[in-house]
Structure 1
Amino acid sequence: MSNCQYWLLKTEPREWSWDDQKSNGGISKWDGVKNKQAQNNMKSMKIGDLCFFYHSGPKERRVVGVSKVIKEWYFCGEDEGAVDIRAVGPMRQTVDLKEMKGDDGLKGFVLFKQPRLSVVPVPENVWERVCEMCGGYEEEGV
């Protein structure tokens, strides 16, 4: 058992998409999070934690890839903080919010209870189930 924690990072694809993440050498600063609860989640992230890269917005709402925390919380502005992430690889098959909500193994997932929260902790059993639904992810070593 590793000490790895799991997270879900939500982004509007028109603002920052999985393709943007990959084209940037796979590394980006995850910032712009205003909600205090989401910021607290980011402050709990550790190097090596894995994150679902989730497209939000009216048309997408799906897990599209996996990234890894490579730099823990730091201040990047007066009242703003960030973590740095690196793309690990795309999901073999994306899974959308409707499919996840319909899966008995995902009942009670915070994403469903607090849909506006942009950084969500993911319990290990939920991580494993979503990965299973997606057929896993490809590690590209971007």
Structure 2
Amino acid sequence: MYMASSYWLFKQEPSTYNYSQLEKDGKTVWDGVANNLALKHLRSVKKGDKAIFYHTGDERQAVGIMEVISDPYPDPKEKDESLVVVDVRPAGRLKKPVTLDQIKADSAFAQWELVRISRLSVMPVPEKLWERIMKMSG
């Protein structure tokens, strides 16, 4: 049975790793997720899902789309098996970034984790909100 793709938002500090670097690398291991709720979300990610690459820090904006190219697996750099990673590759830069301020200004996003739980590094994106962000990005 074919399962529809799910949509996610993955956050990263651009000075640590940014979308341009992902484009240059061609793919990367998305690691470093330690928050329990973020890890719970990351364990639900599936190969074939799409994720928004969101720059945190001073930028606070969605900048690109990634395709998840592996199911979650234990982080090979960690001894703790509860820490999981996924492999991702770039799937396209947004025509124009969508800022957190733009998202907060739109009441459709009021209940979304990005607005409510700002520290969360991995979160689901409901399809309606995904489509809205794509529209906002031009």
TM superposition score normalised by structure 1: 0.90
Whether the aligned pair in 1 keeps the contact of 2:110 and 2:116 (CA below 8 Å) is no
Q: In angstroms, what is the RMSD of aligned CA positions?
A: 1.3
1:119 to 84, 103, 122: 122
Structure 2 CA distance for partners of 1:2 and 1:103, relative to 1, 3 Å: farther
Q: List 4+ stretches of structure 1 deviating above 3 A.
A: none
- Post-superposition offset of 1:81: 1.7
Whether the aligned pair in 2 keeps the contact of 1:11 and 1:54 (CA below 8 Å) is yes
Please, which runs of 5 or more residues in structure 2 have no aligned partner? Answer: none
Whether the aligned pair in 2 keeps the contact of 1:106 and 1:129 (CA below 8 Å) is no
Q: SS at 2:9's partner residue?
A: strand
1:139 is aligned to: none
- Post-superposition offset of 1:127: 0.3
Residues 2-31 of structure 1: CA distance to partner in whole angstroms, max 9, x if unpaired? 611000000000000011111102x00000
CA distance in 2, matches of 1:2, 1:128: 19
Letter in 2 for 1:98: D
The more displaced of 72-81 and 35-44 is 72-81
**Matched-pair identity in %:** 38
Please, which runs of 5 or more residues in structure 1 have no aligned partner? Answer: 136-142
TM superposition score normalised by structure 2: 0.92
Between the two proteins, the alignment pairs up a number of residues equal to: 133
Q: SS at 1:67's partner residue?
A: strand
Q: SS at 1:72's partner residue?
A: coil
